[in-house]
Structure 1
């Protein structure tokens, strides 16, 4: 068996496993009961059943546990530890009917710290915005001495633990939250130096081009494994697997740019059947239909006929001759903010003479429609693209592990928004129109 085809158990997996085992050992020392979950990657690693100390009797009262293991942990000047939750994890934990403990494990030092997620975030808007959990180095130590602290948190026999009552508010923006990006990035030696090299190799192997790759310093990178088709045709040596966190938390600009390239390429790869890229203007647009007939798409929960994403624009004299074709398009940019990754969406249009060749008058057509479209039209377009990239939920299909999107704006809409925490929106006059290049306008409406 060649080295590139061997199964591996990488460093990241070993660290994660060591963290869970450390947690199990501590719970046993507490004389409570630890049960590990058989299914991983759903936001919970196990649960703790509380045991009555005096009688050593299991109580049937539980806490859920999520373990985050690290080979080393960073501490600030005061010795506190800080961990930033993902938006997806936090939403999941706060909506579970049982209190969740977040346990941070330093596997090298064999030490751990813990926090009750519900208690930490309950009613604190600033904490929810930042998604940061701060651990005191001594008070939050997760060891046998913390056994009694768990007694009051476990779910009572009389009913479920419930969070704050939700408020029917939804905050929309053109920043689409990245709910999940691949936990791993695969890397291997390559001689590929440009897209033509990659496409020629794939063509020789009878395979179509790909978008979800990047290369740097003689190495090929992707969120897809490089030891199997089609990407195996682009590499020369053994594949390695790295934690994506290493790129995300790196202070090197090259690492950040590499990760942005991978995210952008993966977005194009996931939607290659529908979308094309205008390399000059750097936006994605819907392809033409084979017969050049109008194409409508329904996304999300909206009714009606759907949105036209491609179609002819006919001459005014006869109403039958196509003058040009309009394609829905979107300028996009991946941004790593304090709250996590977002995809900034700026809807626009692409114009062609025949569905393929760019129109010579595209700039004039675009200028004209931007004058006609108002605030509501821009917001509707942003929501369409957000729904499209998020995709339909399929309970029978495994979700793609490379890239998934959540909601517009980084706001926990299930628990409402404290209006006092937000600045006032700019007041628009009766004839005000949105700026075409604006990426950060916020809109709030009742749901």
Structure 2
């Protein structure tokens, strides 16, 4: 009995890859034309205006490669593809733009590269190697405008409207929702902060940290007519003032006083959560744990050690999450501006010798906006004290022989200032990040492994 005709698995995978490309191109509002007689080009994408429905006769040629075998040297963030010399010669010789799309249809994922742009560098052309970065090179609806830029002449004048899709845009501003309504000012003979703390110690009473000295005055959110403040203030000089008069004053000096008090409050709010201020780097960072073990907050590692790649069993450095926090005033409101960063130490405390190199390296790795947003949201959670649980009365029976003095105290929420949710906006048009973030070709082919900059 004669064997029946067959269509192989490779053909089926190839067809699945084409189907995936067709679907994504259709979602863009562009036109997909498959080529059934081809020698290295599987289809054409024609630019179309999804509002006017006009087609442009401007095309991008597409070569599709589908299947696991094309994902060489794959990591969580990258993979490689080696072009055949004949294919590369063919793609480069024409006058139409050519894109290579490598896909894994079973996972509904595809990645793309503009062949002629990528291989402008003779060294890359000689190697025939393409390094795909999974986040940057994802082939998806948001790729639409970058594809159109390849196909359309510079002077075409064709405008593609933003994709009609609702999106929430998050800022890095968190509103100050509550602060003390009164501030106090008193005359003092003391001129240095350590003199004030010495008086607190002599009084055997603990002084609160929300104060500062300026010229001959001491300013605080605490009533200065009560001990231990009476030890550092001249009797009868205390003024009870409206905080709003200073917060929204047109006088720069008054605003300066308000911000200084806010900074003192912020420092205390963060101190309770194991966060310190680094004066040299001008940022706040998560302090090391006592045993130098990893610490996580909200699922993110905020303190972690990294081993040397050159010397076994040696810690190369410790990474602490950090942020620059700056008070800003817009309209009728005050905000804290959050700029996520990192802090690097060699032993948990002393600054790493290669601090700047490591910071540059990790920022290159985390250019994706989603990573940046998650870090901003982490600081939002810290500032809103999401992970602080108030003290609760212990329900166990207390023994006459039991001493609770050594039990670890729980952290009390800070109540002098508070924040609301981070400022965000809902828009009805989608502007894909890949359109307005720096393009791969304007970054001077930053192809080298940035891990090389994370010195041991």
TM-score norm. by structure 1 comes to 0.51
By relative contact order (CA 8 Å, sep 6+), the higher-ranking structure is 1
* Contact 2:200-2:228 within 8 A present in 1 as well: yes
Q: Distance in 1 between matches of 2:203 and 2:432?
A: 58
Q: CA shift at 1:288, angstroms?
A: 1.1
Change (3 A) 1:265 1:407: same
Matched, 1:337 2:299: no
State which of 418, 423, 441 in structure 2 corresponds to 1:409: 423
Deviation at 1:310, TM superposition (A): 1.2
1:427 paired residue number = 436
Q: Identify the residue that residue 89 of structure 1 maps to in structure 2.
A: none
1:74 is aligned to none
Distance, in Å, in 1 between the alignment partners of 2:208 and 2:322 is 21
Partner of 2:5: none
**Structure 1 vs Structure 2 CA RMSD:** 3.3
Which residue of the partner structure matches residue 182 of structure 2? 184
Question: In the alignment, what sits opposite 1:247?
Answer: 246
Change in 2 beyond 3 A, CA 1:297/1:248:
same
- Residues 141-185 of structure 1 show CA distances to partners (whole Å, capped at 9, x for unaligned) of xxxxxxxxxxxxxxxxxxxxxxxxxxx964411011111121111
Contact 1:177 1:410 survives alignment (8 Å): no
Task: Map residues 198-217 of structure 1 onto 2, 5 A cutoff.
Answer: 198-205=196-203, 211-217=209-215
Compared with structure 1, are the counterparts of its residues 226 and 307 closer, same or farther at alpha carbon in structure 2 (3 Å cutoff)?
Answer: farther
State the partner residue of 1:279: 279
Give the C-alpha shift of residue 356 in structure 1: 1.4
Specify the alignment match of 1:353 in structure 2: 346
Look up the SS of the partner of 1:407 in the other structure.
coil
Separation of aligned partners in 2, 1:423 and 1:181:
37
Distance (whole Å) between structure 2 residues aligned to residue 225 and residue 309 of structure 1: 37
1:210/1:269 contact within 8 Å kept: no
Aligned to 1:139: none
Alignment of 1:4-15 (within 5 A): none
TM superposition shift of 1:290: 1.2
Distance 1:424 1:177, change over 3 A: farther
Q: What is aligned with 1:235?
A: 233
d(CA) in 2 for partners of 1:233 and 1:283?
Answer: 33
Distance in 2 of aligned mates of 1:230 and 1:359 = 40
d(CA) in 1 for partners of 2:258 and 2:424? Answer: 21
1:328 counterpart residue number: 321
Cα distance in structure 1, aligned partners of 2:221 and 2:203: 21
Q: Is the 8 A contact 1:275 1:287 kept in 2?
A: yes
- Give the CA deviation at 1:260: 0.9
Q: Per-residue deviation at 1:308?
A: 1.3
C-alpha separation in 2, matches of 1:427 and 1:394 = 41
Q: Which runs of 5+ in 2 are unaligned?
A: 1-165, 393-411, 444-456
SS of the residue corresponding to residue 360 of structure 1 reads: coil
What TM-score results when the alignment is normalised by the length of structure 2?
0.50
Larger radius of gyration: 2
Contact 2:277 2:283 in 1 (8 A): yes
- Residues 268/233 of structure 1: CA separation in 2 closer, same or farther (3 Å cut): farther
Cα distance change on mapping 1:280 and 1:191 into 2, 3 Å: farther
* 2:282 is the alignment partner of 1:289: no
Residue 304 of structure 2 aligns with which residue?
311
Task: Please give the alpha-carbon distance, in whole angstroms, between the structure 2 residues aligned to 1:183 and 1:388.
Answer: 23
Tell me how far apart the structure 2 counterparts of residues 390 and 433 of structure 1 sit (CA, whole Å). 39
Shift of 1:237: 2.6
> 1:219 aligned to 2:217?
yes
User: 1:260, 1:275 → 2: CA distance?
Assistant: 20
Give deviations 1:53-109, integer Å, cap 9, x for gaps. Answer: xxxxxxxxxxxxxxxxxxxxxxxxxxxxxxxxxxxxxxxxxxxxxxxxxxxxxxxxx
Secondary structure of 1:325's partner? strand
Q: Deviations 1:218-257 (Å, cap 9, x if unpaired)? A: 2211122334455555433343321101102322111111
Q: Name the counterpart of 1:52.
A: none
Q: Number of paired residues? A: 255
Displacement after TM superposition at 1:418 (Å): 5.6
Query: 1:380 aligned to 2:374?
Result: yes
Q: 1:170-222 deviations in whole A, cap 9, x for unaligned?
A: 44110111111211112222233233333333444567786421222322111
Quickly say closer, same or farther: Cα 1:278–1:429, change in 2 above 3 A.
closer
Q: Distance in 2 between matches of 1:257 and 1:307?
A: 35
Query: Secondary structure at 1:280's aligned position in 2?
Result: coil
